[in-house]
Amino acid sequence: MSLAFQASQALPRGTDYLRILPELVLSIFGMIIMVLDPVVDQRRNQKALGTLALIGSLAAIASTLWQARAPGLAFWNMVQVDTFSVFFHFLITTITAVVILTSYEYMEVQQIRVGEYYALILFGAVGMCLMSSAVELVLIFIALEISSISTYILAGFRRRAAISSEASIKYFLLGSFATAFFLYGVALMFGATGSTSIPTIEQHLRSGSIPVLAYVAIALMFVGLGFKVAAAPFHVWTPDVYEGAPAPIVGFMSTAPKAAVFAVLLRIMFQIHAPGRLGLIWVAAALSMTLGNIGALVQQNVKRLLAYSSIAHAGYLLVAFAALPQNGIPSAMFYTASYAAMNIGAFAVVSHFGGAGERYVTLEDYSGLGRRSPVLAAALTLFLLSLIGIPITAGFFAKFYVFSAALQANLVGLVIIGVINSAVAAYYYLRVIVVVYMHDPRDESVLPAVPLELGAALAITALTTIYLGLLPGRVLDYASRSAGDLLH
Amino acid sequence: MTPDLHLWLIPVLPLIGAAINGFVGRRLTRQAIVTVAIAFCGASFAMALYVALRFSGLAIPHLETLAPWIRAGSFQADFAFYVDQLSLVMLLVVTGVGLLIHIYSIGYMWEEGGFYRFFCYLNLFMFFMLTLVLASNYLLMFIGWEGVGLASYLLIGFWFTKDSAASAGKKAFIVNRIGDFGFLIALFLMIKHFGTLNFDRVFQFAASMSVENATAGLLTAIGLLLMVGAAGKSAQIPLYVWLPDAMEGPTPVSALIHAATMVTAGVYMIARSHVIFERAPTALMVVAIIGTLTALFAATIGIAQTDIKKVLAYSTISQLGYMFLACGVAAFSAGIFHLMTHAFFKGLLFLAAGSVIHAVGGEQDMRKMGGLWRKIPWTWATMLIATCAIAGIPGLSGFFSKDEILWRAYQASWAYWLVGVVTAFLTSFYMFRLMYMTFAGEYRGVTSDHSIVQEQAPARSRPSAAQAHHGIHESPRVMLIPLAILAFLSIVGGWIGVPGSLGGSNRFDRFLGPVFRATAPAVKPQHAAPGETAPPEQTTEGLESHTGRGTELAFTGISVFAALLGLYLARLLYLRRPALPERIAAALNGLYAAVANKYYVDELYATLFVHPVVEGSKHILWHGMDQGVIDATLDNSADATRHVSDSLRHMQSGNLRSYAGWVAAGAAVVIAYMVWTGTR
């Protein structure tokens, strides 16, 4: 931090605030919700607060787009707005908006008092956005904490379900444990290079021989961040937490914070040219893919199944980190966007279908869904096919680009492990589809109609999944430009 | 700045129609289904006309990129559309003839089950065909190429409960796969050596390469592989066997897909790739020889068929042979000209044949027809026009296009020309044979009791019971109007390409000129008869001064004579002395049997390829590999995986301290590894 203050002026300039405009917008809306919560009518406030949050996230999207026109540094070089940060801002704020859309019905059906729920989502988004634009390790740590603490609380929002509180406390304790590793890593990095600013660290590491301390620092930071993205061997918390947390929140925390942490990892691994990257990533990626997919094979609970699937997908994504920067960065960015679309979509279906108290979450409950609700079943099938990586869905090109990036870096072994894993993964995703379409419904009762907001969320995620699967060019182009910005 | 014509709408409009009918067609009334299908197909035709109107104001080739698609390294393939004179001709033919056949289908399919499915597939076909025609790179073209194959498969097997239809669909698909395999390898070669599949870039590369005259290099390889693909799609030797079987589909499908449009895709593809072929004389010669042989071979089979649609199927193969012959002698515009006129008259022939089949209650055997002209005069009249056109009776469209091909073939080698003229004679013979057997003489079918007709007829197109009970009848107006329009086009369609020797100016050839002449190599590819070649920069008018107008007229006279001879012979054998054909057949027993059984090619293929593959698959691949090795390995490894998965669950104890322990252990390993890396 001390180095940052070497910058000339003592007070932040006006433009500095523009560079954190999305974060400001989100914070303000979050605070308004907190203030309004006690004063508005208890029964009607459910929707009103949600709508306010939705407006907030849309405003954040708008300000992200507006901010994109004026890239640059702010706050004594701690925040950097460039195409890279704009990409992740846009992704995270969009995820936030879609998750809010999926929450309306869920909160009503579960009869959970909304209270600070929406505010916490917005605050979490603030942290995640900040993570993607911060170029200073201590600020990244603070942003990481903002994001994490919100999600710890959100995980326990099903107050009546013991399993949810358990999830929350487990997530909190283990998460704090992991964050400590990250902070320790930051400290060691400061010790090794005398700075916490990413560009300075890069210069320092490039100029001379790399001290062992830097290696250890990278290792510790990777432990902390690996925990957050549920990469093996730091993934053990994932199934329990995903099973207990509210379904829309699982959709949220399996995508938005992950995207943000992957953004940080991209900076640390590629911008800093992290020493020892290859072996570390190689093993973590291979382990995550294998453990995630094998673990998912025997799951009966759909939420747990998707939890293991998310471990596996973290593994596929890590493959990109082992590749060369000019291919690895865009393919990783494309993967986060694709994964967000399909995973939120899948959890939107899960949260609608779960019913009061999330009663229907096992595979058997899904039998005959194809007959009971063709639209819901078709949407779920699309998302699952995309998670497998079938062409004309986002998942196909996501995997394709990641694996081809790895191949260009001559990582044949890792790609083979990845492809074998994809084949294994097809089994458990297809099992869900088989149950949905081939099995007779156990329960013939009519499903509640899909409400407008959830329908919109499903439509957005489904269309994005197909769009990225049909026309990946535009997004990939943008990601490639961002990679250029990051590396220049 | 060239105007944006929204070319993407042309293929996408029928796709929307297909989607509507496919998803909600089951709940719509027949009127609504028809309205959707015709409206979207018609809109597409209107767009094509609009493009034609704006055409003179465009910079050719006109390129419109809809969206980026695949970008991998330097390789790039976009959703981009490409319009030049060649694609404009194809565009108008496909949408125009397509629309007419859509309209005809309303009447033909009205009583059928799966009405919505039929129009959904038909629109889907239009989507893929237009994608194929408009694509600006080989990859997008390949999508259309595969897509029309899919639509063709679905439509051949439209009556999928019937075994023969289902297996005909499969046969078409599998045989086409062989061709597609060649096409794909050609694409891989282009990617490897040119690094691109975009037409402009590929042709730029190809144009910069020298003519592979004495040598056979990359371009020859690509050309030959493309020809493999074209032979599959356009039913050329040796991959033609699927097309006759494809007649199991509803007759409008035979008209649209298996006569007018899809099967000509191979010709279009070769013409589109002319830059490559012009520099690969060996490949070009193979194209010409395959085309010539196919033309003759299929025509001889055609003379002994008794199923009205089978005759037309072999006729189509034979006519496609002409088009390949034209391409093979580098007379691409003549090939495309014949493609266009053929779309008119062969589409009409099939539709008229459908009308005949409709009239006699599903009967397709010409031996059970006869004397129909009085009962279905409109069908008779239009079909007669189409027959005259295909036979090459002067003044009609087929005359001009076929004459053009024969003339250009002669300039390459007299052998091509001779086979071409013999084929023209055979064409005229089998077509008038068809006319006499169907329309002239006395009705030979079962007249009174239509329930017997129903039973005896193989019910290929499954006439409704209602129609069968009305006796022989003319088709409804909705079917006759497309017949009339196509008949008109079959007459006048050739007039835009009247050669100079007959007082015309061959405007068609001039129109396509910029496509085919701009990039022609300086030296014309050496052909079988090198002495008779002429520089390709010249138009056909230029060629006349070389060989003389008189010569060309003489050749025209010979082909007209061949056509009239065929007509006379057919009249003699099938009208005057109907007993004669049987006597001849008896006299030439072996030969006749061979021809009637299509030279036993299907049987040969079955023995040589299908049987070994099936048996080998069954014993070695299925029992040996699949069950013994793959399944066993997979089952065992799946069991093992599940076992591991099960034991992994114990890692997931739910106990917080053990979780923290895992994280700590993982961290320890990571730190140890990194320290080791750092100190190494």
Classify residue B72 by burial, with Cβ atoms within 10 Å: 0-12, 13-18, 19+. middle
Confidence (pTM): 0.70
A15 and A74 Cβ atoms separated by less than 8 Å: yes
Measured between beta carbons, which residues in chain A are less than 8 angstroms from residue B652? 236, 239-240, 295
Which secondary-structure segment (H or E) carries B189? Answer: helix B163-194
Q: B632: how many CB neighbours lie within 10 A of its CB? A: 11
Find, in chain A, the residue whose alpha carbon is nearest to that of B671.
A219
Torsional class of B598: left (φ above 0), alpha (ψ -120 to 50), beta (otherwise)? left
pLDDT at B548: 67
Q: How far away is chain A from the Cα of B54, in angstroms, using its nearest Cα? A: 29
Do the Cβ atoms of B674 and A219 come within 8 Å?
A: yes
| pLDDT value at residue B519 | 64
Within an 8 Å CB–CB cutoff, is residue B78 touching chain A? yes
Which residue in A212, A237, A424 is closest to B659 by CB distance? A237
Q: Taking CB atoms and an 8 Å cut-off, how many pairs form between chains A and B?
A: 113
Q: Does B68 touch chain A (CB under 8 A)?
A: yes
Distance CA B509, CA B545 (A): 17
Tell whether A8 is covered by a domain.
no
Percent of chain A clearing pLDDT 70 (strictly above): 97
pLDDT band of A88, cuts 50, 70, 90: very high
Residue A4 in any domain: the answer is no
Q: In chain A, which residue's Cα lies nearest the Cα of B66?
A: A471
Instruction: Tell whether A9 is covered by a domain.
Output: no
Q: What pLDDT sits at residue B572?
A: 81
CB atoms closer than 10 angstroms to residue B214:
8
Within 13 Å, how many C-alpha atoms sit on residue A93's CB side?
A: 29
Taking Cα atoms as reference points, which of B200, B310, B295 lies closest to residue B251? B310
Domain that holds residue A192: 14-487
Residue B261, min C-alpha distance to chain A (Å): 27
> Rounded to an integer, what distance in angstroms lies between the CA atom of residue B300 and that of residue A260?
72
Q: Which of B68, B646, B670 sits opposite A474 (nearest CB)?
A: B68
Q: Which residues of A touch B651 (CB under 8 A)?
A: 236
Q: Are B130 and B44 within 8 A, CB to CB?
A: yes
Q: How many CA atoms lie within 13 A of B67 on its CB side?
A: 12
Three-class secondary structure of residue A333 per DSSP? helix
Q: Does residue A130 lie within any of the structural domains?
A: yes
Encoding tokens for residue A442? Answer: 């156990």
Q: How many domains does chain A have?
A: 1
CB B52 within 8 A of CB B168: no
Q: Which residues contact A136 (CB under 8 A, 6 or more apart)?
A: A1, A4, A77, A78, A79, A196, A197, A198
Distance from CA of A117 to the nearest CA of B (A): 26
Average pLDDT of the residues in A112-127: 90
A456 confidence band (pLDDT: 50, 70, 90): very high
B640 interfacial to chain A (CB closer than 8 Å)? no
Interface check for B8 against chain A (CB to CB < 8 A): the answer is no
Residue of B663, B669, B673 to mutate, interface with A, max A Cβ within 10 Å: B663
Distance between A473 CA and the closest CA of chain B, angstroms? 5
In a domain, A2, yes or no: no
Partners of A220 on chain B (C-beta within 8 Å) are 667, 671
Chain centre to alpha carbon of residue B320: 9
Subunit contact B673:A280, Cβ cutoff 8 A: yes
Most confidently predicted of A41-50, A234-243, B367-376, B587-596: A234-243
Nearest to B671 among A219, A291, A424 (CB): A219
Indicate yes or no: CB of A177 within 8 angstroms of CB of B663: yes
**ipTM reported for the complex surpasses 0.95:** no
Structure tokens at B49: 């006309």
Average pLDDT over residues A13-42: 88
Q: CB-side exposure of A311: number of CA atoms within 13 Å?
A: 32
Closest partner residue to B675 (CB to CB) among A212, A291, A473 is A212
Q: Compare CB distances from B656 to A173, A222, A279 and report the shortest one's residue.
A: A173
pLDDT band at A110 (very low <50, low <70, confident <90, very high): confident
Q: Do A236 and B659 touch (CB under 8 A)?
A: yes
Which chain A residue shows the shortest CA-CA distance from B658?
A236
Amino acid at B112: E
Closest CB to A298: pick one of B78, B642, B666.
B642
Instruction: Identify all chain B residues contacting A170, using CB atoms and an 8 Å cutoff.
Output: 656, 659
∠ CA B288-B291-B297, rounded to 5° = 135
Separation of alpha carbons B502 and B251, rounded Å: 37
CB contact under 8 A, A275 and B677: yes
Q: Min CA distance, B650 vs chain A (Å)?
A: 11
Tokens at B279, concatenated: 């520099």
- Across the interface, do B678 and A212 touch by the CB < 8 Å criterion? yes
**Residue B636, Cβ density class (10 Å: 0-12 exposed, 13-18 middle, ≥19 buried):** exposed
Average pLDDT rounded to a whole number, residues A397-425: 92
A181 contact residues in B (CB cutoff 8 A): 667
Determine which helix (DSSP H) or strand (DSSP E) holds B281, and give its type and residue range: helix B281-302
* pLDDT tier for residue A42 given thresholds of 50, 70 and 90: low
The nearest alpha carbon in chain A to B664 belongs to A234
User: In this model, does residue A100 exceed pLDDT 60?
Assistant: yes
Residue A307 has pLDDT above 90, yes or no: yes
Query: What is residue B466's predicted lDDT score, i.e. its pLDDT?
Result: 42
Low-confidence ranges of chain B (pLDDT < 70): 1-2, 73, 213-216, 446-470, 503-504, 518-548, 649-651
Contact at 8 Å (CB) between A114 and A57? no
pLDDT at residue A101 greater than cutoff 80 = yes
Closest CA to B51 of B154, B162, B137, B133: B133
CB atoms within 10 A of CB A16: 17
Tokens of A243: 């099973």
- Mutation for testing the A interface, residue in B66, B646, B659 having most A CBs under 10 Å: B659
**Residue B674 near chain A (CB below 8 Å):** yes
pLDDT, position B464? 45
pLDDT at B530: 39
Residue A1 included in any domain: no
Q: Does B647 touch chain A (CB under 8 A)?
A: no
Question: Quick check: is A293 in a domain?
Answer: yes
In this prediction, residue A463 has a pLDDT band, given cuts at 50, 70 and 90, of very high
